[in-house]
Amino acid sequence: MSNSHRDADEREALRPMSEAQAPQRTGEDREHWTRYAEEWLAWARAPNHDAFWAYRNAFRDFVGRGGGDALEVGCGEGRVARELVRCGWRVTAVDPVGELVRAAAEARSAHDYAVATAAHLPFPDGRFDLVVAYNVLMSVDDVPAALKEIRRVMRRGGRCVISIVHPFADRGRFAGAGPDAPFVLEESYFGRRRFEGVEERGGLRMTFAGWSQPLEAYAGALEAAGLAITALREPIPELGEGQERLCPWTRVPAFLWLATRPVAC
Ligand SMILES: C[S@@+](CC[C@H](N)C(=O)[O-])C[C@H]1O[C@@H](n2cnc3c(N)ncnc32)[C@H](O)[C@@H]1O
């Protein structure tokens, strides 16, 4: 499961690449999302189209209500920011892609906006009570740099809530279409790999690309940034209308959610 909103029946479309095939270039993440911003707008705004909608209520509960200052890093067209506003947060939404930030602003998704990458946030130290990175870190070229910068803009008692594609789900696939199909791990769980590919469903297509890496890589980057994991969820999708295809993901976690807090120095 090598991208942010991958569904069980679409997994064949994405091609993992080995690390050797995919040398890292700075800015590759922003370039990719700039190129495919229009696809993402249509994909993310189609109601019940991707997995977001099946996890939305649980994620809202995980974040919780609050009246403080929240930052969403990698906001895309703004749907997570809109949920945070609904929960009472005063939200600043940032994304490196100007077209997506403009779309988020047009939809009145947040209170403030900025065009910025996670590794260069245009805010002073200790500015936010909450930072949310929802299905963003798999796209980010340099996760350790992003988490250090996120830590910098967090208040002393603040919280950073992260959703990623579950690193275990990322490396396997269901061997069949049935609800009991075995989940098969392909290749090694370990190592950092580039993924890229196209998903198509319901007349929409989305071109995903990013990095698949094991849980220890994320945990190591959090540790280096001075962020301690205080809560962890392996959420199960709500199989409402249009989401029946996610049934296999009630047996294997598709996503991993982490709440983290700054470690006292
Ligand atoms: C899968 S979308 C998620 C958007 C939104 N969080 C949501 O769930 O609807 C990934 C987003 O990460 C953004 N992104 C890519 N590289 C980034 C970086 N280095 N820093 C911050 N955001 C980045 C992309 O522009 C894109 O909007």
pLDDT digits (tens, 9 = 90+) for 195-240: 999 999 999 999 999 999 999 999 999 999 999 999 999 999 999 8
Check residue 232 and give its pLDDT: 98
Q: What is the pairing mode between strands 227-233 and 128-134?
A: unpaired
Domain boundaries of the chain, sorted by first residue: 8-262
Helix spans in 18-173 (H): 28-35, 37-45, 52-63, 79-86, 98-106, 143-152
Q: How many residues are recorded in the chain?
A: 265
Long-range pairs for 79-86 at CB < 8 Å and ≥24 separation? 79/44, 79/45, 79/52, 79/109, 80/132, 80/134, 81/109, 81/110, 82/107, 82/109, 82/110, 83/56, 83/59, 84/110, 84/130, 84/132, 85/109, 85/110, 85/111, 86/60
What is the Å distance from ligand 1's center to 189 Cα?
A: 24
| CATH class belonging to 8-262 | alpha beta
What is the Å distance from ligand 1's center to 136 Cα?
A: 5
Q: What digits encode the pLDDT tens for the residues 51-72?
A: 999 999 999 999 999 989 999 9
Q: Is 147 within 8 Å of 131 (Cβ atoms)?
A: no
Angle (CA) 67-258-97 rounded to 5° is 75
Is 12 a residue whose pLDDT tops 50?
no
Compute the distance between CA of residue 46 and CA of residue 23 in angstroms, rounded to an integer: 34
Q: Ligand 1 atom closest to Cα of 117?
A: 20
What is the Å distance from ligand 1's center to 138 Cα?
A: 9
Is 5 a residue whose pLDDT tops 60?
no
- Closest-CA residue, ligand 1 atom 25, reads 33
Q: What are phi and psi of 146, to 5 degrees?
A: -65, -45
Pocket mutation for ligand 1, best pick of 14, 33, 82, 196 (most atoms within 8 Å of C-beta): 33
- The answer to whether the predicted template modeling score (pTM) of the entire model surpasses 0.85 is yes
In a 13 Å sphere around the CA of 133, the CA atoms on its Cβ side amount to: 26
Check residue 25 and give its pLDDT: 56
Pocket mutation for ligand 1, best pick of 28, 40, 95, 123 (most atoms within 8 Å of C-beta): 95
For 142, counting Cβ atoms within 10 Å of its Cβ (0-12 exposed, 13-18 middle, 19+ buried), the class is middle
Is 2 a residue whose pLDDT tops 80?
no
Mean pLDDT score, 25-31: 82
